[in-house]
Amino acid sequence: MTARPRLLFLVSEDWYFLSHRIALARAARAAGFDVFVATRVNDLGEAIRAEGFTLLPITMDRGGVNPLKDLAVLAQVIRIYRKVRPDVVHHVAIKPVLYGSLAARLAGVGNVINALAGLGFVFTATSWKARLLRPLLWGLFRLLLGGKNNRLIVQNHDDQGMFAGSGLIAPDRIQLIRGSGIDTTAFQPMPEPDGVVRAALVARMLWDKGVCEAVDAARILKRRGIAVEIALVGKPDPANPRSITQQQLDAWQREGVVRCLGHQDDIRAVWRDAHIGLLPSYREGLPKALLEAAACGRPLIATDVPGCRELVRHGVNGLLVPAQNPDSLADALERLVTDPALRHSLGAEARRLAETEFSLDGVVAAHLELYRARP
């Protein structure tokens, strides 16, 4: 009997695998792969095992830059690759891409899929740490991404153009797959709720998600006398250097300009109770939260930055505003708050685009093609 091919996911956190890659892993198993998941395990390890996947715990720290710890993690990944001997590895995010690509090279893995869902803190922050790490990362990308058995997945045209023009990897080895896909059966259009218009910002509570700009826009609208509620849905991410503290969120809540709802397990309920999907981020891969809002028929407001403009078409399914500009954000919110007909037309088109351009089936099919292909 022919052995089933082995697919190994290397991701930084167990929750990320379950929120962004579980549907893909299920589809790969149904397509004949044995699936292994190497990740840092917090409290969701049993949920991964319950799916029938082989869980391989690692001690990766997304936010840390400690050479000794990083070397220890690299050693763990190398040992895993030599033991499992995967036919295909799928690395997701910067640290897994770097560690995994080197481990795959040393272990002789024949098919390496690197996915950069978004370039994150190092490419958006202006701190000395980010400025120091940026050229180092480009150097590592140049060293590790260019192998003949490597393919790179990006989620938006901006990142595709940037990497294609960088010389780091041949353009024909770059695959555009826009996001994690959306299950348009699970996320269905919903009627608008009654009451004050609510805009929901669903994200990890990071400064780079534009949370502060959303709070400032709420203050501006309050001064204008515009009745709107802005809900912040998500929790801080201490592993990220740009995390907002819980103390700051509590202070905004006490101020009364936004509602801080924390993490919510039922995202469909969030969009049932909201009128507008909001994300004033500084940079994205392709924002899953806005895609879920779109599938529920909600109009979108986002910044005109990579990732967000891949999904939001100005005046078609939402409104785009400049990044880090609370006044423009307030203007866009006021426009949708005061114009129900525009909300409805943008929301209907958001649903249509979710179905035709960002469906889960298309995303899964594109990944399976990469898994099966000979590099």
**Domains delineated in the chain:** 6-181+359-372 (3.40.50.2000), 198-357 (3.40.50.2000)
Query: What local confidence, expressed as pLDDT, does residue 2 receive?
Result: 57
Query: What local confidence, expressed as pLDDT, does residue 1 receive?
Result: 40
Each of the 375 residues of the chain gets a pLDDT tens digit; together they read 458 999 999 999 999 999 999 999 999 999 999 999 999 999 899 999 999 999 999 988 766 556 677 788 899 999 999 999 999 999 998 889 999 999 999 999 989 999 987 665 555 556 656 667 667 777 778 878 877 889 999 999 998 998 888 888 889 899 999 988 999 999 999 999 999 999 999 999 999 999 999 999 999 999 999 999 999 999 999 888 889 999 999 999 999 999 999 999 999 999 999 999 999 999 998 999 999 999 999 999 999 999 999 999 999 999 999 999 999 999 999 999 999 999 999 999 999 999 999 999 999 999 999 999 877
Using alpha carbons, list the distances in angstroms from residue 163 to 53, 65, 152, 175. 33, 24, 9, 11
Using alpha carbons, list the distances in angstroms from residue 373 to 62, 113, 213, 369. 30, 11, 44, 6
Query: What local confidence, expressed as pLDDT, does residue 62 receive?
Result: 63
Query: What local confidence, expressed as pLDDT, does residue 187 receive?
Result: 96
Catalogue the long-range contacts made by 128-136 (C-beta closer than 8 Å, 24 or more residues apart).
Answer: 129/65, 129/241, 133/65
Query: What local confidence, expressed as pLDDT, does residue 271 receive?
Result: 98
Query: What local confidence, expressed as pLDDT, does residue 63 receive?
Result: 60
The single-letter code of the amino acid at 289 is A
Query: What local confidence, expressed as pLDDT, does residue 128 receive?
Result: 58
Q: Which residues does 271 contact at the CB level (< 8 Å), separation at least 6?
A: 187, 190, 200, 277, 292, 293, 296, 298
Cα 366 from Cα 87, distance rounded (Å): 18
pTM over 0.85: yes
Which DSSP state fits 181? Answer: -
Residue 212 is encoded by which pair of tokens? 């502060």
